[in-house]
Structure 1
Amino acid sequence: MVWRRFRRHRAAMVSLVFLGLITAFAFVGPFVWPWDHTVSRDILGNQPPSLQHPFGTTNQGNDVFAQTMRGTQQSLKVALTVAVLSTVIGSVWGAVAGYYRGRVDAIMMRVVDVFLIVPLIVAVAAINGNVRGGTTWYAVALIMCLFSWATIARVVRGVVLSLREQEFIEAARAVGARASRIIFRHLLPNAAGPIIVAATLLVAVAVLTEAALSFIGFGIQPPDISLGKMVEGSRTAAFTRPWLFYPPGILIVMICLTINFIGDGLRDALDPRQTMVRR
């Protein structure tokens, strides 16, 4: 039923296809493309788009098409890692707080409040700039995850506070089910809808955050590359050499748009109160 309702959301289905193509471009493309993202002596620098180099080349002798594939791959890896880890941590934290309530809930939610009031980009930039190895994609992803789980924790807590008063939870308590079983076997599966939607939207937030960090110099650094780093490196060439600036910028926008439309479709498909068929 959920899949049928999701398929009726045309924007979400089109976005799903586009996201699949972008993912294939990022992860399969490097295996079939003759150039990689590094500098090559066989590549002439500062060349406009051509059949051999569809996105042109940089001053240093990089193939921009290969850089775009690598940058998309690294940005997606960061975003997916942040989404998965933050969703797991935030879901468990919020479910435990919502189930136990009282003093446990108060203490755990004050911790969440601390992470929520800290500006994400400022915090990640401060930590990333002082951590050895912070320029690698997985270090960037782990540091971003530290400050991204709190939003999901608050969403899950609100859902669990409602679910814990339902009859099936009372029945589980009556038969002697342990708290851990109730949380992981009953509460979290029934909160899957909001969790999936929040996790989907977190992917888009992570893509934008990584791009912003790379743009200000605290994200992935050379010799590796990301979409944000490509935009930062070509910001002065937007009008003189647009083939350097627009491909990574357009891909960032496309990834975020497709993820948001997919999240919108999942919200409609998982919401039992939603009866409108999107056109």
Structure 2
Amino acid sequence: MAEPIPSILDADALAAAERGQWRLVLRRFLRHRLAVASLVLFLLVIVFAFIGPLVWKWDHLLHREIPSLASPSADHPFGTTRAGNDVLAQVMRGTQQSLKVALTVAVLATGIGSVWGAVAGFYRGWIDTLMMRIVDVIFVIPFLAVAASLSGAVRGGVTWFHIAVILGLVGWMGTARVVRAMVLSVREQEFIEAARAVGASDPRIIFRHLVPNTTGVIIVAATLEVATAILAEAGLSFVGLGIQPPDTSLGLLISSATSAAFTRPWLFYFPGVFIIVICLTVNFIGDGLRDALDPRQTMVRR
């Protein structure tokens, strides 16, 4: 009996094929110039937010020695606030907190929505009908109204983690709908029938075959969740239900500087630019990953 030799060779062949597939994905992504440039810029924003506070001489808190309402200068490149905060340090801290919220929301909302949509699309029938009617009911409730209500119910002060969990729990319905639609198409393909024929269980089919084959859609949904979370957190902060002082976020910085947009623009436009940069770069990265992971996409140099 020489069965062990073919099995070893098969395992090696599968491992080599998997490595080759990921090289192909990487090559496709690197051909998407806008996505690569966005990834570099996004990594620089992360370094700015998480490494910057460790090397900058000021933190985001009040300091008596900081002059009030100083315009941008060598000592304070982003200027200062009326109370005596260094705006550069505040933008670093705000970017850090907003990124924590956005990335946590993206993981939580995309995870819940993907599983919900995949299960509904796989089983169809009354299970699908019941699950999607629940989604419809939640959908008609205003997103920010629910988030604001939950945020207002938090005792002991709202932190970035509270905001992230709240937004993640009320922001997964769009992903569920998109994944369900994709699963309804994928479940009819031959490899799903083959998995059923060899006795694969329903959870294995869903999580081993269906969900991985909707990766492109899930990635796009996750990037949209990042942008939505940034803007939703800004909206909550604008009405006073987001992250609370002395901590800060990009939304809170913009909220506190709306009246100074034209008289002291450095207070308003610096955090606004960072919100725009984060939203755009994440969306472009998502486009590049979608094209790289989906072989049906026609790759063109951009």
Q: Specify the code of the residue in structure 2 equivalent to 1:223.
A: P
Which residue does the alignment assign to 1:37? 60
DSSP 3-state at the match of 1:230: helix
- After the TM superposition, which residues 1-279 of structure 1 pair with which residues of structure 2 at under 5 Å, given as runs? 1-133=24-156, 135-279=158-302
The CA RMSD over aligned residues, in Å, is 1.4
In 2, the alpha carbon distance for the partners of 1:253 and 1:124 equals: 22
Partner in structure 1 of residue 9 of structure 2: none
Which protein shows a greater Rg? 2
Structure 1 residues 30-52: Cα deviation after superposition (integer angstroms, max 9, x where no partner): 11111110111222222111211
Q: Which sits farther off after the overlay, 260-269 or 203-212?
A: 260-269
Deviations 1:191-210 (A, max 9, x none): 11211121122111111111
Query: What amino acid sits opposite 2:99 in the alignment?
Result: L
Percent of aligned positions that are identical = 66
Total equivalences in the alignment: 279
Residues 270, 37 of structure 1: CA spacing in aligned structure 2 closer, same or farther, 3 A cutoff?
A: same
Question: Aligned partners of 2:92 and 2:125: how far apart in 1?
Answer: 50
TM-score by length of 2: 0.89
Residues in 2 aligned to 1:93 and 1:58: alpha-carbon distance in whole angstroms: 46
Segments of 5+ residues of structure 2 without an aligned counterpart are 1-23
For 1:155 and 1:147, locate their aligned partners in 2 and report how far apart those are by CA, in whole Å.
Answer: 16
Instruction: Please tell me the residue identity of whatever aligns with 1:57.
Output: T
- Structure 1: gaps of 5 or more residues: none
Is the 1:116–1:150 Cα contact (8 Å) retained in structure 2?
A: yes
Q: Distance in 1 between matches of 2:298 and 2:197?
A: 35
Structure 1 stretches of 4+ moved >6 Å: none
Any conservation in 2 of the 1:134–1:140 contact (CA below 8 Å)?
no
Does the Cα contact within 8 Å between 2:28 and 2:299 map onto a contact in 1? no
Instruction: Provide Cα deviations, 1:198-244, integer angstroms capped at 9, x if missing partner.
Output: 11221111111111211121111101100011011111111211111
TM-score, reference length from structure 1: 0.96
